[in-house]
Structure formats: C-alpha cells, structure tokens
Structure 1
Amino acid sequence: MQVSASSRATSNANSRARAITVAGLALFAMFFGAGNLIFPVMLGTEAGTNVFPALAGFLGTGVLLPVLAIIAASSSKDGTPREVAERIGKIPGTVLLFAMFLTTGMFYAVPRVSAVSYEMAIAPLVPGADSGGGIGLAIYSFVFFTVVYLLVSRPSRVVERVGGYLTPALLILMAILVITVVIKLPPAGNPPAPKYVDSPVSTGLLQGYFTMDAIAGFVFGLIIVTNLRNTGFATQRSSFRATSAASLVAGVFLAVVYIGLAMIGTRVAGDGYANGAEALSGVAQQFYGTGGQVLFGAIAILACLTTATGLLTSSTAFFRSYFPSISYNTMLVGQLLIAFGFSNMGLEAILNLIEPVNQLVYPVVITLVVTTLVDILIPGRLYWTYRISAWVAAFVSLFEALWATKLEIFAGLRPLLDAMPLGTNHLPFAVPAVIAFVCGFAIDIAQGRLRHALAQPNLSGNTGGTAK
C-alpha cells in the first residue's frame, strides 16, 4: 500500500510538472510572434560589440516585464485580469481591458500576424506575389485563419496543442538556424551604432519596452490560469504558483532564443540587410539555398500561428465573460471574419489607428503591473496607489497618444512632451507615475490600509488587492 501511495504521489508530481512545462512552452510560443523574431536580430546588428549590455537591457523589459505581467494578472482571486484591471476603477478598468483585447486581437495583432507571415514566408517563394495584398494574401489569410479556427475551436486543448506540438517544432527549426549561423559565421566585430555607444543598457531597455509584450502578458495569463486550474491546480494559491512557474519557463526560453537571434545579428552586421527579416532569410539561404527560405518561412508561420492562436483563445474567453449569451463558436468565427477583413485591407492604415491606442494603454498596464506586484507583497490593502498612479499615467500618456495620431493640430505637443523627464524617449509618463504611486501609497498608509499587512506578510496565497 505504501509503494502504491508513493507511486501515485510520484505520478501526480510528474503530471503537474508536465502541465507546468507544457503551459510554459505554450506561453513562450504565444509571446514569440513576428516582431519578436526580428527585434533581437536588429539589436545584435546595431549594438555590435556592445551587444551583451544591450541584451541585458532588452531582456529586462522584453522578457522580465511580460513575465511579471502574467504573474500580476494571475494574482486575482479568480485568476483573471478582469479583477486586477478593475482595481483602477470599474469603468476605467473595463475600458482598459477592452482596449487591450481589441488591439491584441481582431483589430490589429491577429490580422497583422497573418499578413506578416505571408510577407515573410510565402511572397518570397511565389514569383510575382504582391506582399502588400492581392489574391495571394487573401488565399493565404483564409488558410491561415482556418488553421487557427481548428486550433482554437476546442479551448481546453489549446495549451496542449501549442505547448506539446507546435512549440517543439518551432524550437527545433529555430535551433537549426541559430546553431548553423553561430557555428559557421564569426562575429563581424562592428562598432556599435551611435545610440548603443554611451548607454547600451538603457537603449536595450527601450527596445524591449517597445515590444509592448506586457499587454500580451495580461492577455495570455487568462489562458494559462484556466488551463492550469483544469489540470489539477484548483486553488487560488496553487494556480498562482503554477502560473508563476510556467511564466518563468516561458521567460527562460524567450531569453535563450533572443540571445541566439542577437548573436545572428552580430554576424551579419555590415551585410546591408534592411531589417531582421531580410537578415534571417538571407543567412538561411546562404547555408541552405532555397530550402533556407523554406526553413525561415516555416519558423515565421509557426511563430505567427501560435501567437494568433493564443490571442484569439484569450479574447474569445474575455468577450464571452461580458456577453455570455453569444456562443463560443459564434464569438470565435466573428472575430476571425473581422481579422480576415483587416488582414487584406492594408495594415498601415490600421497601424496608424492602433499606435495611439497602444501609447495610451501600455503605460497604464505597466503601472498596474508594478502596483499589483507590490500588492502581492502587501496584500489586500492598496487602493489609492492603484488608482492615482494609473490615472496619472493615463493622463500624461493621452498627450503622447494624441501626438502619435500625426494630426497637424497635435504637432505642437512634441516639444512639451520632450521637455518632461524621459520625454525624448517617449516615456513622459514614467516620472509622474512614480510620484503618483508614492502619493497614493502614502494615502493608503495614512488611512491605515497597510498597518496589518506590513506586520503580517502574505502567507495565505490570497493575492487580491481590492480592499477599500
């Protein structure tokens, strides 16, 4: 009986470890879209001999920040981002969530990965193909979204399908390309570009910040928490710990892949490639001929497919939480049809519309993540800290967003924004948000919300922060 009990315990532990690993691999692949494939290569190309300090900065905001966003989003009592977002106020939190899920879903990110994967993978192999649109893109988008539908139609299987099958395939193809280039090509030894000469770490931090993956951390956290709760981590404390572990697995894989891609960048610096996609395609063809383009294309398609799968799974679950009378399948198909339409309409116009929204949303998300992490350590007490810091970040970022519309009427905002601390880096919200955080924290202390929490740290796994 003891042996049997021991075997069951071991089997249960192995099952839980596998669930966390698969969830972590799925999370990695969902994060790793087309932009994540390109940015590190360009960082390596431009940073040159300063690549390692630049990478340290990039990993801080491009990996650590999204991982912390997942941990923050999963810290609520129900494990969803809704309760966390509403800590800044019910109406502002709801607006923030809809902005996040619409821009990372059917209005921009999902149609973008379809169009970009066509441009990277299919257009170079088809003579006369127009990467900007046309019948070729329409056919490809239809096939792409059909595959996404098949992957997402059973939400309980999404994490297993992505983490158990698609991610290993993506990692194997990535390893073939990265290892080949790193072994066969020596570093070019190019001097760093001007922006990487004096402050490579801070420049890397900014490059990682502009991936805006912390928003995706909030979005993907919904899938991972739900999956892990369905695989044995039923309590709030166990699901929070499992989600944190899965996010760390994803972070490790992201860091390793980013480093490998940056090493490719250091080896093709000076070869005249216009962007990271051209560099990866070029070196793949250098070693494998036409098969190299097929290899790079397969990587691009898998990266975009897994990202679209994760985004649509999360957005469908999110929208159904507000509109439960609409069936899962109807909600999914509706989003796919909208994404299909946008992917064939030209993404420049969509980008011009979405960029101002991102400039407004992302600073609020960052302040929310930071405050939530503090609230995990000092649980259930913060109130004004959430609200004041987020509101101030939103107020300042509104002017950055207005300038990002590129309308002539708002052109005069740029000198004012640049005059603010970090304004020239398009981060004018940072210092005001920190000051607002301190003020909100002081108010919470003055109103007695922290007295017991500071004396008795959180050991119960209750990471909610909704106390008034």
Structure 2
Amino acid sequence: MEQVKDLNPKPLSVKQYLVVSSMLFGLFFGAGNLIFPIHLGQLAGAHWGMATLGFLVTAVLLPMLSVLAVAVTRSKGVYDIGRPLGPAFALVFMVMIHATIGPLFGTPRTATIPFSVGVQPLLPANMAHVGLLVFSVLFFGTAFLVSYKESNVMTSVGKVLNPVFLLMLFAVFVMGFAHPMGTVSKMAATTAYQHASFFNGFLQGYNTMDALAGLAFGVTVVTAVNQLGKTTPKSNAKVTARAGVLATSMIGLIYVGLILLGATTLGKYKVSADGGVAFNQLVTYYLGTLGHALLATLLTVTCLTTAIGLVAAFAQDFHKHFSRVSYRQWLAFMCAASFLTANFGLDTIIAWSTPMLMFLYPFAMVLILLSVFSPLFHRDGVVYAFVVAFASVPAFFDMIGAFPAVVSQSAFGKALTGFQQSVLPFANLGMDWVVPAVVGLVLGLGVHFLRPVFAARRSVVSEQVHNR
C-alpha cells in the first residue's frame, strides 16, 4: 500500500542532493564516456562544434530525459517504462536492455577498456591474456563486494569513488588546456565529418549506452532516494529529476572539454583507431610513463563506479521480476557472466555491441520521449504501440547493416541494406527510424483523441435506435 507521507518530511539539503547527483554521475560516467568523446574530437577536427551538438543529444539530453522519464511515470525500472505496451513487451524489453548494457556488452566493457588502455601497455605482450584474466577477476570481485549490500551503492559511488575520479580528470584538463598540442580551428576533419558532423556525432553518442543505462539505473536511483526518506512517488520523482538534471549537465560540460582535447591531439598525432589510444597518447604526451599509471588508475576508478551501478541495477530488476532467485544470486550471476564476456577482448565486444545498439536505441529514444510527454495523452498504450511498431522495421535494418561483415555483407544483409537505402528517408545518416516513428505518433495520437468522439457518436446513435 502506498505511503501517504515521506519518512523524511523535510526538504533534502544541498549536500544530500549533491550526493545523489554524484551517485548518478558515477553510474553514468564510465570508460566509454572518456574515450568516445576524445575520439570524436579527433574525427571532427575543426568541425567539432556541430559534432559536439549531435553527440550531446544522444549522450547527455537522452540520458537526462531517461531519468526524467523514470520520474514523470514514477517508474522503478526498465519494465515500468515499457509497461504501456503490455507485460510481455515490458519484460522482453527489460531483458534486452539489461543484457546489452549488462553481461553481453556494457558491463564487460567496463573491465576491458581500463585494462586494454591503461594496464596492458605496462605488461609484456605475452602476458596480455593472463593479465586480462587476473584484472577482470579482481575488477568484478570488487564490484560484487561493493554491491553485496544494496545500501552500499550510494555511499561507495556517490561519496568515495566519484570524487576521486573527478580530481584525476581535473588534472588532465589543466594540463591539456594550459599547454594545448595544437589549435582546434586548424585541425582537419575526416571525410564523414566534413558534411554530416552533427549526425555522425549523434550516432557516436550511442556508444556511451547512457540512454539505455538511464532506464536501467531507475531502480537504483529510486532505492537510493528512498533511503533518504523520500518514500512517496511524488517526492521521490521530484528528487530524482533534480538530481538527474544536475548530474547530466556536469557530464555535458566534461564531454565538451574531452572533445576539444581530442581535437588538439591532431597537432601531434594522427587520428587513432579508437578513443582509448587517443587518451593514452594525451596523458603520455604530458606525463610520460607516469601518464600510463594515471590513465590506468583513472579508467579503473571510473569504470568501477559504472560497473557497480550496472550489476546492482541488473540484480535489483531481475530479483523483482524473477523473485525465486535472490538479489545476491543475480548479482553473482551478473558478475560471473560479465567476467567471462570480458575475456573475449575489447575489440570483439565493441564489434558485436554496435548492432544491438543500433536496434535498441530507436526503441529507447521513442519510449523515453513518450514517457516524458505521456501526461498529455494519459500514457495511452495505443500511442505507444503505433510509434514502436513503425520504428521497429528501420531499427531491424540498422541492426543488420551494423553487424560484422559475416552478416552485413552476406546476400541477405546486402539485400536488406539496398532496400533500406532506396526506400527509407535519412537511411544514409542512420536516422531512418525518425520518419516512421513520427508517422506512428500522428496515427497513434489521432486514434487516442478521436476514439472518444466516435464512442460518443455510437452512444448517441444507440440511444436514438433504442428510443425508436
């Protein structure tokens, strides 16, 4: 039964808001949030401005809206966001989101990125596999121990690990901007960013996985805010929304700085294969061998905060819907599965995660936006159904086209890609889901608002027939 009053009727202090915001920041900001903006800066060069705007839409605005979606709908996790489409869809959507940001791709990446970028360069080449094995055992073992008690999550992430990370990152910014490697306005942009920098930056934002993570972290955030005594849905939602805006705004400022730093590295280095290499070059240029140690520490700390949030959110959501297995058992499964996937290596994880992101992000984006504006149409499932149904086909095409060559370059893959490019608007920009989703929205809203009119007319006609 819903509580009438909060356990803590007093307004939260500034310090308490900062702790919740710090926790949210730490949950969102992982290794991908460091390396992808830097790589974007290298790719965009002098065109960094429009690329940054596109990146901020999917890497900052959408995660902010995902937190607001949880607050507006008073949801407690991914399942509740998909609930207007029925329990079956909600459960499948929850499992797919958690599998993608969890043991299949997102959580293993939190271990492989700090190892590949920060630790592996310090090891002999023949020790790479053993090193990753040992590092991932220690990494996920720590994540398991910190998350073992649900009440530890806010304390460990919000009060301890995140401030350490921010101090390290601030040191990198001071060095980078005090003595830049080059002038950003003079840096060359890669071909893709010379003409479509906004849309390419938009798609790069998918890699952070933060819009998906924002939905999954909902249950963790709600639990943390409850611990502060804000136990009624209304007050809990209010605190969550305020803390979410503060945290994602801070992340946006850091992204702008990282993108600029990435662009300046072109003054000394060529465009790297990925952002991890670029970040490695950045700190090594300023700190030499000491830079490797700083990089390893920085990446490990920030990735650990994200891993803690991901494993806790996974265990909380799955225990809620599959309650025969306890929170701690789901937690152990999540950590063990992430450990196994991590040992396939970073390149393999990134190659196979991109297709799933291309498929899930359109669903996540439309569900987030529908949730935020759901009070306007009373969260009518009909509106949701039209939008999601129309967006699903282009999302499937995008997934097939993003698979490694064994799938995307097969006869089936080429046939689908050819059809997609010739029929769907904006397919060449990776935005082919937008027009179908808008069409679905118009139809869904039309049904929602006209349905009462037709019902009233039927009622009048039935009454007239009855009177005769």
TM above 0.5, one fold? yes
Corresponding position of 1:227: 224
Answer yes or no: is the 8 Å Cα contact 1:79–1:236 preserved in 2.
Answer: no
Determine the C-alpha separation between the residues in 2 that align with 1:323 and 1:89.
17
Answer yes or no: is the 8 Å Cα contact 1:74–1:225 preserved in 2.
Answer: no
Determine the C-alpha separation between the residues in 1 that align with 2:374 and 2:104.
32
Residue 163 of structure 1 pairs with residue 158 of structure 2: yes
Aligned ranges 1:203-214 → 2 under 5 Å: 203-214=200-211
> Displacement, 1:273?
4.7
Tell me the alpha carbon deviations over residues 94-136 of structure 1, each in whole angstroms, 9 at most, x when there is no partner. 11110001111122211122122111121111233554xx211
> Displacement, 1:264?
1.0
Determine the C-alpha separation between the residues in 2 that align with 1:54 and 1:357.
23
> Displacement, 1:347?
5.1
> Displacement, 1:326?
1.6
Residue 411 of structure 1 pairs with residue 407 of structure 2: no
Tell me the alpha carbon deviations over residues 311-340 of structure 1, each in whole angstroms, 9 at most, x when there is no partner. 101000011012212222222112211111
Corresponding position of 1:424: 428
Determine the C-alpha separation between the residues in 1 that align with 2:348 and 2:40.
27
Tell me the alpha carbon deviations over residues 400-448 of structure 1, each in whole angstroms, 9 at most, x when there is no partner. 3234444213221111111211111222221101100110011000123
Of 192-201 and 247-256, the range deviating more from structure 2: 192-201
Corresponding position of 2:292: 293
Aligned ranges 1:116-127 → 2 under 5 Å: 116-127=113-124
Corresponding position of 1:326: 325
Answer yes or no: is the 8 Å Cα contact 1:29–1:303 preserved in 2.
Answer: yes
Determine the C-alpha separation between the residues in 2 that align with 1:301 and 1:49.
31
Of 263-272 and 362-371, the range deviating more from structure 2: 263-272
> Displacement, 1:154?
1.2
Corresponding position of 1:345: 344
Determine the C-alpha separation between the residues in 1 that align with 2:432 and 2:222.
33
Count residues with an aligned counterpart: 437
Q: Which of 377, 380, 383 in structure 1 is aligned with 2:381?
A: 383
Secondary structure at 1:259 match in 2: helix
Corresponding position of 2:461: none
Corresponding position of 1:435: 439
Change (3 A) 1:52 1:352: closer
Secondary structure at 2:102 match in 1: coil
> Displacement, 1:205?
2.6
Answer yes or no: is the 8 Å Cα contact 2:79–2:93 preserved in 1.
Answer: no
Aligned ranges 1:51-70 → 2 under 5 Å: 51-70=48-67
Tell me the alpha carbon deviations over residues 1-32 of structure 1, each in whole angstroms, 9 at most, x when there is no partner. xxxxxxxx9x954x443232212112122222
Answer yes or no: is the 8 Å Cα contact 1:46–1:269 preserved in 2.
Answer: no
Corresponding position of 2:258: 261
Aligned ranges 1:119-158 → 2 under 5 Å: 119-128=116-125, 130-131=127-128, 134-158=129-153
Residue 399 of structure 1 pairs with residue 407 of structure 2: no
TM-score (norm 2): 0.87
Residue 445 of structure 1 pairs with residue 444 of structure 2: no
Secondary structure at 1:447 match in 2: helix
Secondary structure at 2:325 match in 1: coil
> Displacement, 1:47?
2.2
Corresponding position of 2:3: none
Tell me the alpha carbon deviations over residues 171-215 of structure 1, each in whole angstroms, 9 at most, x when there is no partner. 100000111111112525213333333443343333224534211
Corresponding position of 1:466: none
User: Which amino acid counterpart does residue 393 of structure 2 have in structure 1?
Assistant: F
Determine the C-alpha separation between the residues in 1 that align with 2:253 and 2:343.
34
Determine the C-alpha separation between the residues in 1 that align with 2:195 and 2:310.
38
Change (3 A) 1:383 1:230: same
Change (3 A) 1:209 1:112: closer
Determine the C-alpha separation between the residues in 2 that align with 1:411 and 1:195.
22
Determine the C-alpha separation between the residues in 2 that align with 1:193 and 1:336.
39
> Displacement, 1:67?
0.8
Unaligned runs of 5+ in 1: 1-8, 452-468
User: Which amino acid counterpart does residue 446 of structure 1 have in structure 2?
Assistant: L
Determine the C-alpha separation between the residues in 1 that align with 2:126 and 2:194.
40
Determine the C-alpha separation between the residues in 2 that align with 1:332 and 1:155.
11
Answer yes or no: is the 8 Å Cα contact 1:19–1:228 preserved in 2.
Answer: no
> Displacement, 1:379?
5.7
Q: Which of 234, 237, 245 in structure 1 is aligned with 2:234?
A: 237
Determine the C-alpha separation between the residues in 2 that align with 1:184 and 1:348.
32
Answer yes or no: is the 8 Å Cα contact 1:44–1:51 preserved in 2.
Answer: yes
TM-score (norm 1): 0.87
Secondary structure at 1:234 match in 2: coil
Answer yes or no: is the 8 Å Cα contact 1:152–1:158 preserved in 2.
Answer: yes
Corresponding position of 1:5: none
Structure 1 vs Structure 2 CA RMSD: 2.3
User: Which amino acid counterpart does residue 101 of structure 1 have in structure 2?
Assistant: H
Secondary structure at 1:192 match in 2: coil
Determine the C-alpha separation between the residues in 2 that align with 1:66 and 1:276.
21
Determine the C-alpha separation between the residues in 2 that align with 1:119 and 1:100.
25
User: Which amino acid counterpart does residue 214 of structure 2 have in structure 1?
Assistant: G
Secondary structure at 1:428 match in 2: coil
> Displacement, 1:168?
0.6
Residue 187 of structure 1 pairs with residue 183 of structure 2: yes
Corresponding position of 1:373: 372
Secondary structure at 1:104 match in 2: helix
Change (3 A) 1:65 1:291: same
